[in-house]
Amino acid sequence: MPLIALAIAGLAVAVEQFVQWKFGPMGIIALVALTIGVKAKNTMLGGIGAVLLVMLLAHSG
């Protein structure tokens, strides 16, 4: 069980670093808003985070 938790934590850090490298601070804000919205079951905050990420993805393509 600790190995799985360590792997998940490592993956989360890797995703966060990739988003920050690719999309800058706005990407981190969007990812945090999406994560908090999903964990808190707050659809408005999760939706805002998702829309921000989609906008950043559309802009970079």
- The full DSSP string for the chain is -HHHHHHHHHHHHHHHHHHHHHHHHHHHHHHHHHHHHHHTT-HHHHHHHHHHHHHHHHHH-
Q: Is the pLDDT of residue 61 over 70?
A: no
**Residue 60 has what pLDDT?**
63
- Regarding pTM above 0.75, the answer is no
- Residue 9: domain span: 2-60
The number of domains in the chain is 1
Average pLDDT over residues 35-52: 93
**Residue 2 has what pLDDT?**
86
